[in-house]
Structure 1
Amino acid sequence: MNISRFFGSTSREAMRQVRLALGPDALIVSNRRVNGGVEILATDSSSVPGATAERAPMPTGTAHQAAGIRQQDMAAPPAADNVMGAIGALRGALEGRMDDLVWSHQMRRSPVAVNLFQSLLSQGFSTALLRALLKRLPPELGARAALQWVRTELETHLPVLRAEDSLWQPGLALALVGPTGVGKTTTLAKLAARAVRRFGPDKVVLLTTDTYRIGAHEQLKIYGDLMRVAVHIVQDVAQLRSVMLGVRPDQVILIDNMGISQRDRYVREQAALLAGAGRRVQRLLVLNAASQGDTLDEVARSYTQDGGTPLSGCIISKVDEAIKLGAPLDTAIRFKLPIHYVSNGQKVPEDLRFMSAGELVDSALQVRESQRPLYAASSGDLAALLESGGQSAQEHQAEEERRARVLPRLLSAASAGGPVGLEQARRAAADLDERLACAEAYDFWRDLHAPHAAVQDGAAAQRAEGLMRAACQEVSEGDVSRLLVIHADHQPAGSQEQCSFSFLFSPKGQALSVPYYQRQTPSQWSDVRGVRSMERPSPTQALNQAMQVLNTQAQPVNLLHIFEGGSPTMWRQWADMPADWLALIPGATSLWHKDGKTTPNALSKQLAFHAIPDLAARLHLETLGRVRLSEIALWYAVEPVQLRQRQGEPVHLDLIVLRTVRRHDGKVLKTRFAFMHQHAGAEPIAPASLACYMMLRSEVQEMARLFNTVRGILPASHSEFEEELHLLAAAQLTLACWDLLQAPDNRGVRQLSARLLGKPGLKSSQSVDALVKMLVLKEAMS
């Protein structure tokens, strides 16, 4: 009996393949669920003894089918295999149908799941993976929290090479395999360049088995000559074994192979060739990111089942030509192929990147401006598919009753303004999810109060990188290419500890996250990455380090660094950096203007000031300096100035002067000064926006007053690593408290939290208690 294997994302898809390959009379041997879909073993009925007996014609209208397999005439002696096959097919069809019903029911009940399904499908992810993922989606999450949950799940399950050093070991033998035209030769040259940099040209050997494609070995020979690396051409297993045995054990061997269609029988022959090399060869499958998902699935399936040594992983090529990256990541997850590198261009060796799981997932979820989802279901398409069903009245009522049983005491305890309704609480919890600062604070709060194992080294660094990625994703979704980084120092009263935090804001003042801090204790200096030193860096060195770390992590999003203070030496040094910065300075700072040496105080008396008429549109905040936005006006002036020294070129900066004026009587409340520097080629920033950013910097000082209170409500730390994570959590919770007070979008949350506190309104001193109440409420509702 010749048994064939078929795989599909559902039973229906797998049975369709059976019918196409073996005809409607195919016999099912087994039917079982495997990772990512359904596997069916089937055979042609002609290969079963006794199955070829002549059948009587089937009367019209009496045909019986089980999952698309035609029933044999009852007069024919039924074969045991045929009976078991029919039963297996029927069971598979029933399982598939039940699975479809459960999935359809969940989609109809959860608009968030529907939106995520549509979004991820448009990014190239398969329906099989999305089903497995979204079935575990917590039902209480809002849109933002659900997207973050999906991002975390994808990052957790995406296999990647943990570190480059784990790959590049002396004696490595690496072969690239895959279909034609996916970029194997160019990618191999990029890998060879990395190997030469690590080991030297005498430790690297290039091999090619591609003697079929015209000019293939000549192309590799050119690369080898440029890198002064030996290149060998082999045609069969004997030549390959001979070359491999002649290479020193410490030399790295990189093998380029002929591109073979996944449907070509030579795939198995090539696998056998590499398996007989006489030395262990790691095979990496090159996946073309611009290919369709079904094509990548077929390629991965063919090369994982070619009979050779198991694939060690994959390399994703032609990323620069792809509109979406979901398909190759989906393939890597389902076939468990660790991603080693990503090739994003033709340049050798530059266009080859080693990316973390988080970076890959963020790239896949990022919507490109040129992307037009012509081949994915739209909202209208999904609505048309789901409109035939919905949540029944009984189900909706049962859900409401369950929620009402969980929350009655908490909601009825509010004394100011009467009891709180369940719907109001649900809206407030959803509003928290829509504010990144609050959503991240909730994640910290939940993790810190959940039982878990001891915090390991690097936990704070990993969490901080996630905060940066989330902030970059937030502004990229809003079609904004810049983030504000406000650097501020904090020293708790009566403590010898001093911390420097880097707060991220959107250009309109929305609080986002705190992805970096530095900490100074009497015994050592450290930062969120776990870097430690016994020597305390100077203020210039500390700020330089913070700017460099954040600029690297935020690429390609631009950062504007905002800080207070400095010195002429520091400002000159920062003017040479490829970074944009805004430094608040004293009015007595010495500078050079066209009329000679002067100070900002003196120069401001000669400048013409301009009003900012659309202040509320530029800063989405409730107050500035404890004064409501509607009660003040901002006037600014800009003037180019210089910093001069006896030996050296002058440094050109812009002086920004900002006056805060009370509207009803025109009194100047405060005058602020700042130096502004933008590196060459940067997108100009409107002076009115810079003036607003100077005011935003003053708000961070108000925020620092909440930090000590927040640290007091966190659980005690039991290790140095746990203390690092708690410090990051305290900073994020502090930012969330400020966002609760300041964001116009959080008015509903403010009102509810004030009622839960039994207060008519929310004050700054009550914001920490209010945030805790809302976090507990949100956790109870989940």
Structure 2
Amino acid sequence: MNISRFFGSTSREAMRQVRIALGPDALIVSNRRVNGGVEILATDATSVPESAIRDAAVPPAAPMPNQAAGMRQEMTPPPGPDNVMGAIGALRGALEGRMDDLVWSHQMRRSPVAVNLFQSLLAQGFSTALLRAMLKRLPDSLGARAALQWVRTELETHLPVLRSEDALWQPGLALALVGPTGVGKTTTLAKLAARAVRRFGPERVVLLTTDTYRIGAHEQLKIYGDLMRVPVHIVQDVQQLRSLVLGVRPDQLILIDNVGISQRDRYVREQAALLAGAGRRVQRLLVLNAASQGDTLDEVARSYAQDGGTPLSGCIISKVDEAIKLGAPLDTAIRFKLPIHYVSTGQKVPEDLRFMSAAELVDAALDVRESQRPLYSPTQGDLAALLESGGQSVQEQEREQERRARVLPRLLAAASAGGPVSVEQARHAAAVLDERLACAEAYDFWRDLHAPADQPDVGQAVQRGEALMRAARQEMTDLDVQRLLVIHAEHVLAGSQDQVSLAYLFSPYGQALSVPYYQRVSAADWSDSRGVRTLHKPSSGQALNQAMEVLNAQAAPVSLLHIFEGGSPTLWRQWAAMPADWLALVPGATSLWHKDGKTTPNALCKQLTFHAISDLPARLRLESLGRVRLNEISLWQAHARVQLPQRNAAPLSFDLILLRIVRRHDGKVLKTRFALAHVREGFEPIAPASLACYMMLRAEAQEMARLLPSVLDVLPDVESVDQEQLRLLAAGQMSLAAWDLLQAPENRSVRQLSGRLLGKSGLKPGQSVDALVKMLVLKEAMS
């Protein structure tokens, strides 16, 4: 049975989709209201086998009257109204469960991307229940890279974490750690106590323990208390606990260590009743052992969440240093809605306790170690065998291919203005776009901004900017590259006097990645993509300082090389003191010192020996530079150590990089550029030839500036400030993607197809935005 899922904002809209896809004779399987609209499961009536109808009519669990010879039929009374309604409800539940299984099975068979994600995430410890609920909503049009980013965003969105440490540490806090034996409650409580002492002082912290069962348990906590000069009290019963709690000042913090109890022990409820009778509201945090199995964590969370005490306030994940994977504790936190407060990463007190954001936790959970072998989860071969055992995968795939074969050619014929386009060509081009990070992120922005029902939430631009940085960082991790390039460029927005500064991220090979940050200066104020807005307009140097600080913090542990134009001796001194590497393009008349004499880059250009960069195509994997094809020019570089004198201090030393761009066929020097380079001591040095190539990349920012007005013209108008922030990020990302469409050798097939869609024999720089939009629309139509 080929079950399809349809979603609409109203029942009328969902039914319209059903009629378009399956015709007027479609069989409606179920109709239910979900968040944001109505969901309908439907199928073509001709595809329903008779066996499925018989199975639906008779529940599998219902016994037949004479199942075996000699079996005595039991006489049962006629069913009453309650029994009838119960039987109908059970039958409906069985049918809905069966149909849901069919839909999930059908999606897994027709989506290799979903299968790969399911297998990968299952290996990282996530439960089938969570993966099933999440991957059912996976858009069909996404490639492997975009689908992984979608999953990452979904996990970050739904993973509950403590808003900030300040939200927990309030005067009068009473906090108790609960959980099974051996999960590290006492050590974790000592770490929390050290943080409380650092914030409030030892006189405002009190430690209690109810653990009188383990030998030496209270002595261990007392040792920690003596080291921190914090009193420790032992509690035997609820009366003693209430007396101690009521004797504590209202502004003092109470931290309670509890005896570890198995989740199957009846004493779990007694412990919950003990804490509930403390006379002050006690926040209970469940300690989850990251090294435990997912089923164990599920049982622990369910037992403590249903123990009859006050609701759990959240959880702390312990023993992360002993765990192979982090999917299970994060999965448990999501399903039981337990905000993660801290993560314990070792035995050291108080060092090994971290406060982590949702993004950091998800990154850690999705980090696949080379030595990790998924012995306890199915491999791709196992999943393939399981899917084939369904018996209908081949037929369903054939029907899906037939449907696409009928619809897609008509769509492609209507979209093409320069000749026929095959379905395979369109699919290949869409796959190429998915593999290019800049284009994949541009597609996500395009789809989000053109979705009328989805309005950006407050802070969504901030989250998207951080996600763009994480995606670029992950790209570099996959390529085993330790440094990213950040090209800072300023543009004046068309039709206004507003100036926007964008930060373009590139790989060391010139691969366009993302635009995670911008700053905007208007006639009224200054703002950036984090939502910061001020009437004070910083100078260009101050603005660049702030951009470098923000991006360095987001990129850690990956290093950044900031590339920009201009500066002054004062600013160069400031930037040299910052924990950052940078490359500043400077004029030829800049005053410098070289070998104890005053000089300029123009003068040194006549003295130094230039060397050809013979491996230019390997250093910059691009089609052209400055609208000139890479095979038509050659680059020559020279470098020297220069100094910048400063009063009452030793001079600062920089590397001066000199670059000449020479036309191959006649040897004419097309352009000469100069730059000062600063790379921190102790970090991986950068070859002068690479720095010279990066100077060429900085010049490409002007090409992106020419594309920005065209991108803004095709994006929808916005009304709110949050929408405008998202629109500017989208404009930056799409201008980078349009440039990548023209420059990346991997995009040659996409350029050919987009040119055909535009009715052109080849793409010119001014047509790249139109070509990108055509491809994004085609990709959306194919989905």
User: What TM-score do the two structures reach when normalised by structure 1?
Assistant: 0.85
Distance 1:650 1:193 in 2: 45
Paired AA for residue 624 in structure 1: L
Describe how 1:324-343 pairs up with structure 2 within 5 A. Answer: 324-343=325-344
Cα-to-partner distance string for 1:481-532 (whole Å, 9 max, x where unaligned): 3221111111236632111111111222111111111111122111111112
Distance 2:631 2:497 in 1: 40
How far off is 1:442 after superposition? 1.5
How far off is 1:243 after superposition? 0.9
Are the structure 2 counterparts of residues 655 and 118 from structure 1 closer, same or farther at C-alpha, using a change threshold of 3 Å? Answer: same
**Could you tell me which residue of structure 2 aligns to residue 220 of structure 1?**
221
Distance 2:93 2:492 in 1: 65
Are the structure 2 counterparts of residues 699 and 279 from structure 1 closer, same or farther at C-alpha, using a change threshold of 3 Å? Answer: same
How far off is 1:761 after superposition? 0.7
Distance 1:221 1:661 in 2: 76
Describe how 1:575-590 pairs up with structure 2 within 5 A. Answer: 575-590=576-591
Equivalent residue of 1:649, what SS? strand
**Could you tell me which residue of structure 2 aligns to residue 254 of structure 1?**
255
Cα-to-partner distance string for 1:654-706 (whole Å, 9 max, x where unaligned): 22222222233333322222222222332233333222212111111111111
How far off is 1:767 after superposition? 1.0
**Could you tell me which residue of structure 2 aligns to residue 759 of structure 1?**
760
Paired AA for residue 544 in structure 1: N
**Could you tell me which residue of structure 2 aligns to residue 405 of structure 1?**
407
Q: Does 1:705 align with 2:706?
A: yes
Paired AA for residue 720 in structure 2: S
**Could you tell me which residue of structure 2 aligns to residue 663 of structure 1?**
664
Q: In the alignment, is the contact (CA less than 8 A) between 1:464 and 1:515 conserved in 2?
A: yes
How far off is 1:615 after superposition? 2.1
Q: In the alignment, is the contact (CA less than 8 A) between 1:288 and 1:318 conserved in 2?
A: yes
Distance 1:501 1:298 in 2: 49
Are the structure 2 counterparts of residues 608 and 123 from structure 1 closer, same or farther at C-alpha, using a change threshold of 3 Å? Answer: farther
Distance 2:687 2:294 in 1: 44
Distance 1:460 1:566 in 2: 29
Q: In the alignment, is the contact (CA less than 8 A) between 2:110 and 2:397 conserved in 1?
A: no
Cα-to-partner distance string for 1:553-591 (whole Å, 9 max, x where unaligned): 112222111111111111111111111111112222222
Distance 1:380 1:571 in 2: 57
Moved over 4 A (4+): 65-68, 71-81, 83-102, 387-390, 453-456
Q: In the alignment, is the contact (CA less than 8 A) between 1:182 and 1:288 conserved in 2?
A: yes
Cα-to-partner distance string for 1:88-109 (whole Å, 9 max, x where unaligned): 9999888776655543333222
Equivalent residue of 1:190, what SS? helix
Describe how 1:387-398 pairs up with structure 2 within 5 A. Answer: 387-388=388-389, 389=391, 391-393=393-395, 395-398=397-400
User: How many pairs align?
Assistant: 718
Paired AA for residue 480 in structure 1: V
**Could you tell me which residue of structure 1 aligns to residue 139 of structure 2?**
138
Q: Does 1:508 align with 2:515?
A: no
Distance 2:327 2:598 in 1: 59
Name which of structure 1's ranges 538-547 and 469-478 shifts more when overlaid on structure 2: 469-478
Distance 2:223 2:602 in 1: 65
**Could you tell me which residue of structure 2 aligns to residue 171 of structure 1?**
172
How far off is 1:776 after superposition? 1.5
Q: In the alignment, is the contact (CA less than 8 A) between 1:407 and 1:780 conserved in 2?
A: no
Q: In the alignment, is the contact (CA less than 8 A) between 1:67 and 1:93 conserved in 2?
A: no
Equivalent residue of 1:560, what SS? strand
What's the % identity of the aligned pairs? Answer: 78
Are the structure 2 counterparts of residues 90 and 736 from structure 1 closer, same or farther at C-alpha, using a change threshold of 3 Å? Answer: same
Are the structure 2 counterparts of residues 323 and 642 from structure 1 closer, same or farther at C-alpha, using a change threshold of 3 Å? Answer: farther
Paired AA for residue 525 in structure 1: W
Describe how 1:180-579 pairs up with structure 2 within 5 A. Answer: 180-388=181-389, 389=391, 391-393=393-395, 395-402=397-404, 404-405=406-407, 408-416=410-418, 418-452=419-453, 455-492=456-493, 495-579=496-580
Distance 2:303 2:399 in 1: 50
**Could you tell me which residue of structure 2 aligns to residue 639 of structure 1?**
640
Equivalent residue of 1:644, what SS? strand
Paired AA for residue 653 in structure 1: F
Are the structure 2 counterparts of residues 101 and 711 from structure 1 closer, same or farther at C-alpha, using a change threshold of 3 Å? Answer: closer
Q: In the alignment, is the contact (CA less than 8 A) between 1:642 and 1:651 conserved in 2?
A: yes
Are the structure 2 counterparts of residues 346 and 700 from structure 1 closer, same or farther at C-alpha, using a change threshold of 3 Å? Answer: farther
**Could you tell me which residue of structure 1 aligns to residue 621 of structure 2?**
620
Distance 1:78 1:581 in 2: 88
Are the structure 2 counterparts of residues 520 and 94 from structure 1 closer, same or farther at C-alpha, using a change threshold of 3 Å? Answer: closer
Q: In the alignment, is the contact (CA less than 8 A) between 2:141 and 2:780 conserved in 1?
A: no
Distance 1:379 1:454 in 2: 38
Are the structure 2 counterparts of residues 485 and 253 from structure 1 closer, same or farther at C-alpha, using a change threshold of 3 Å? Answer: same
Paired AA for residue 375 in structure 1: Y
How far off is 1:379 after superposition? 2.5
Q: In the alignment, is the contact (CA less than 8 A) between 1:753 and 1:773 conserved in 2?
A: yes
**Aligned-CA RMSD value:** 3.1
Distance 2:781 2:93 in 1: 40
Q: Does 1:672 align with 2:659?
A: no
Distance 2:224 2:293 in 1: 30
How far off is 1:141 after superposition? 1.9
How far off is 1:413 after superposition? 4.5
Name which of structure 1's ranges 733-742 and 225-234 shifts more when overlaid on structure 2: 225-234
Q: In the alignment, is the contact (CA less than 8 A) between 2:387 and 2:393 conserved in 1?
A: no
Paired AA for residue 434 in structure 2: D
**Could you tell me which residue of structure 1 aligns to residue 743 of structure 2?**
742
Distance 1:74 1:243 in 2: 68
Are the structure 2 counterparts of residues 446 and 96 from structure 1 closer, same or farther at C-alpha, using a change threshold of 3 Å? Answer: closer
Q: In the alignment, is the contact (CA less than 8 A) between 1:151 and 1:361 conserved in 2?
A: yes
Equivalent residue of 2:416, what SS? coil
Q: In the alignment, is the contact (CA less than 8 A) between 1:520 and 1:536 conserved in 2?
A: yes
How far off is 1:634 after superposition? 2.3
**Could you tell me which residue of structure 1 aligns to residue 631 of structure 2?**
630
Cα-to-partner distance string for 1:328-363 (whole Å, 9 max, x where unaligned): 111111222121222233444443333332332222
User: What TM-score do the two structures reach when normalised by structure 2?
Assistant: 0.85
Q: In the alignment, is the contact (CA less than 8 A) between 1:412 and 1:419 conserved in 2?
A: no
Distance 1:718 1:494 in 2: 17
Are the structure 2 counterparts of residues 643 and 225 from structure 1 closer, same or farther at C-alpha, using a change threshold of 3 Å? Answer: farther
Describe how 1:682-701 pairs up with structure 2 within 5 A. Answer: 682-701=683-702
Distance 1:638 1:381 in 2: 57
How far off is 1:246 after superposition? 0.8
Describe how 1:588-599 pairs up with structure 2 within 5 A. Answer: 588-599=589-600
Are the structure 2 counterparts of residues 347 and 537 from structure 1 closer, same or farther at C-alpha, using a change threshold of 3 Å? Answer: farther
Paired AA for residue 343 in structure 1: S
How far off is 1:229 after superposition? 3.0
Equivalent residue of 2:634, what SS? strand
Distance 2:351 2:541 in 1: 32
How far off is 1:637 after superposition? 2.9
Q: In the alignment, is the contact (CA less than 8 A) between 1:158 and 1:333 conserved in 2?
A: yes
Are the structure 2 counterparts of residues 77 and 413 from structure 1 closer, same or farther at C-alpha, using a change threshold of 3 Å? Answer: closer
Cα-to-partner distance string for 1:301-350 (whole Å, 9 max, x where unaligned): 22223332221111112223333211111111122212122223344444
Distance 1:382 1:190 in 2: 43
Distance 2:664 2:160 in 1: 58
Equivalent residue of 1:392, what SS? helix
Gaps of 5+ in 1: 1-64
Equivalent residue of 1:660, what SS? strand
Are the structure 2 counterparts of residues 294 and 78 from structure 1 closer, same or farther at C-alpha, using a change threshold of 3 Å? Answer: farther
Are the structure 2 counterparts of residues 726 and 98 from structure 1 closer, same or farther at C-alpha, using a change threshold of 3 Å? Answer: closer
Distance 1:780 1:108 in 2: 22
